[in-house]
């Protein structure tokens, strides 16, 4: 037997013996292994060295060879199946696909909820952050409710009788939604929502253990008679809605319905969460006064954010609330995360206090209006059988009803293969939808030429899907 085969044979024997022992046990000495297996000392030395390289044993000079702690085998996947029982079968699904995952090269983005980088005030943000960092107290602990100057700025946004003491600074809009749904009603409760509605809100409500109940809309917003029926039938104590530039439809709640919605909620003894995400995303025309501005009794809990008009990474928003609910929100803040990072709050104060912010908002309004018109024109030209019920006066999206022969999921998949990312309508509905829809964003694309190209690609995708389905 040659030296190599002798080493392999002894290595196999020693592996088996080490596997029977427990970590820390000593293997036979080299002399004993030589005598027992009739091999040379060199063979024993090489076999032990290979075994040590595998991590199965370790040697102590002058003492001997010992069994090592057995590492988990990287080739075998960890068994986490026990967690299904421990987690109790609950599932938290993301509202939409992760926008941070890069689409295929050349894809035109009509999906997602943030404007293109070219529409962000990058220079103003950098300057604001630099000024904030130079403040001597920039790294001190912030108050739980937020910095006083920032609270004052947000209090002035809706007007009316809102004061800085009514404002809680939050880490963006999505985190605020999660906080509100957990704070206002207990798990298992129904929450009334517009149908369709913002998927991030539906996901946050379900994660809080709530049950979204749809309330239909028309082209003027929530249908009041059905809202009153929903409160009466469910006993709900919470309504979530977007009265201005609703996502996804773009609908603005009609003037004659705005106070009535608040009155219906108050009569039911319920809170109304007013998600005013588009307050800084108007297309040049003034948006209606927020509901909270005329609410003195604490029915309306108002929410807005800077992430969409400024940058996804400026995770700063605000909740306006009055009475015990605000104290509860402050208590949960102290439990959840104590306070929002002070440097980010200081940067927001710097940004919002400069003329550059007002100039940015004027420029953004013009860009959004032109992009909205460009995409609507492209759809009308390339896809005349798609129905656009509302041309939005603010926000970032068009909501299109599809012809009956175009299933939205199949169309979205086909469109992606044609190089266009879209948002299918189903996730926007808290229950079954009555028709197929797509949400098309006009803010995430690079420019208007991309929007025109996107509609051409969508027309090609629709034609391909119809041809396949006709076979």
CA-nearest of 193, 151, 198 to 170 is 151
Q: Over its length of 471 residues, how does the chain's per-residue pLDDT go in tens digits? A: 456 678 888 888 988 888 888 888 888 988 888 888 888 888 888 888 888 888 888 888 878 898 888 765 555 677 777 777 777 766 666 555 554 456 788 899 999 889 999 999 999 999 999 999 998 888 999 999 999 999 999 999 998 889 999 999 999 889 999 999 999 999 999 999 999 999 999 999 999 999 999 999 999 999 999 999 999 999 999 999 999 999 999 999 999 999 999 999 999 999 999 999 999 999 998 899 999 999 989 999 999 999 999 999 999 999 999 999 999 999 998 888 898 899 999 999 999 999 999 999 999 999 999 999 999 999 999 999 999 989 999 999 999 999 999 999 999 999 999 999 999 999 999 998 889 999 999 999 999 999 999 999 999 999 999 888 775
Helix pair angle (408-417, 448-470), 10° resolution = 120
Q: Take residue 351 and report the two structure tokens written for it.
A: 């940004």
φ, ψ dihedrals at 421, nearest 5°? -95, 125
CA dihedral for 195, 196, 201, 204, sign (positive or negative): positive
Query: 135-353: what fold?
Result: 3.40.640
Q: Which residues contact 82 (CB under 8 A, 6 or more apart)?
A: none
Whether the CB-CB separation of 190 and 210 falls below 8 Å is answered with: yes
CATH class of 108-116+357-470: alpha beta
CA-nearest of 5, 87, 77 to 40 is 5
CATH of domain 3-67: 1.10.10.10
Q: How far apart are the first and last CA of the chain?
A: 69
What per-residue confidence (pLDDT) applies to 367?
Answer: 97
CA-nearest of 9, 78, 81 to 38 is 9
Vertex 38: Cα angle to 33 and 42 (nearest 5): 65
Quick check: bond before 196 cis, omega within 30? yes
> Where do the structural domains in the chain lie, given as residue ranges?
3-67, 108-116+357-470, 135-353
Burial of 368 (0-12, 13-18, 19+ CB in 10 A): buried
Whether the CB-CB separation of 189 and 181 falls below 8 Å is answered with: no
What per-residue confidence (pLDDT) applies to 408?
Answer: 93
Quick check: bond before 382 cis, omega within 30? no
Whether the CB-CB separation of 155 and 287 falls below 8 Å is answered with: no
Query: Which residues are registered as beta bridge partners of 218?
Result: 221
**d(C-alpha 99, C-alpha 426), whole Å:** 18
Q: Which residues contact 6 (CB under 8 A, 6 or more apart)?
A: 39, 40, 43
What per-residue confidence (pLDDT) applies to 63?
Answer: 84
Quick check: bond before 248 cis, omega within 30? yes
Query: 3-state DSSP call for residue 399?
Result: strand
């Amino acid at each position: 037997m040659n030296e190599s085969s002798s080493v392999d044979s002894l290595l196999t024997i020693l592996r088996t013996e080490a596997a029977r022992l427990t970590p820390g046990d000593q293997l036979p000495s080299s002399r004993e292994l030589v005598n027992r297996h009739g091999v040379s000392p060199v063979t024993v030395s090489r076999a032990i060295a290979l075994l040590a390289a595998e991590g199965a044993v370790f040697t102590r000079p002058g003492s001997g060879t010992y069994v090592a702690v057995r590492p988990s085998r990287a080739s075998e996947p960890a068994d986490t199946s026990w967690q299904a029982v421990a987690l109790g079968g609950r599932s938290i699904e993301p509202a939409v696909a992760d926008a941070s995952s890069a689409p295929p090269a050349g894809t035109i983005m009509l999906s997602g909820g943030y404007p293109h980088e070219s529409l962000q005030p990058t220079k103003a943000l950098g300057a604001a952050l630099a000024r904030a960092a130079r403040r001597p107290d920039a790294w001190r602990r912030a108050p739980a409710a937020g910095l006083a100057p920032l609270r004052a700025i947000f209090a002035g946004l809706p007007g009316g009788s809102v004061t800085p003491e009514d404002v809680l600074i939050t880490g963006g809009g999505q985190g605020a939604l999660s906080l509100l749904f957990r704070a206002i009603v207990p798990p298992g409760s129904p929450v009334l929502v517009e149908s369709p509605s913002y998927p991030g809100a539906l996901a946050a409500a379900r994660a809080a253990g709530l049950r979204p109940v749809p309330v239909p809309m028309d082209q003027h917003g929530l249908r009041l008679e059905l809202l009153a029926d929903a409160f009466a039938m469910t006993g709900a104590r919470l309504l979530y809605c977007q009265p201005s530039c609703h996502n996804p439809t773009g609908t603005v709640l009609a003037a004659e319905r705005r106070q009535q919605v608040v009155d219906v909620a108050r009569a039911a003894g319920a809170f109304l969460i007013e998600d005013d995400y588009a307050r800084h995303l108007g297309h040049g025309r003034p948006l209606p006064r927020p509901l909270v501005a005329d609410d003195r009794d604490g029915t309306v809990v108002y929410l807005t954010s800077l992430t969409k008009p400024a940058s996804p990474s400026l995770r700063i928003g605000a909740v306006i609330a009055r009475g015990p609910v605000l104290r509860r929100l402050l208590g949960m803040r102290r439990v959840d995360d104590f306070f929002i990072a002070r440097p980010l709050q200081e940067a927001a104060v710097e940004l919002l206090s400069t003329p550059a912010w007002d100039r940015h908002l004027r420029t953004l309004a013009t860009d959004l209006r032109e992009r909205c018109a460009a995409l609507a024109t492209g759809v009308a030209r390339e896809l005349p059988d798609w129905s656009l019920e509302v041309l939005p006066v603010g926000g970032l999206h068009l909501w299109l009803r599809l012809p009956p022969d175009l299933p939205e999921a199949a169309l979205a998949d086909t469109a992606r293969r044609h190089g266009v990312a879209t948002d299918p309508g189903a996730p926007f509905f808290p229950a079954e939808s009555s028709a197929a829809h797509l949400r098309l964003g006009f803010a995430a694309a690079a420019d208007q030429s991309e929007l025109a190209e996107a509609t051409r690609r969508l027309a090609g995708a629709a034609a391909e899907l119809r041809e396949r389905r006709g076979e």
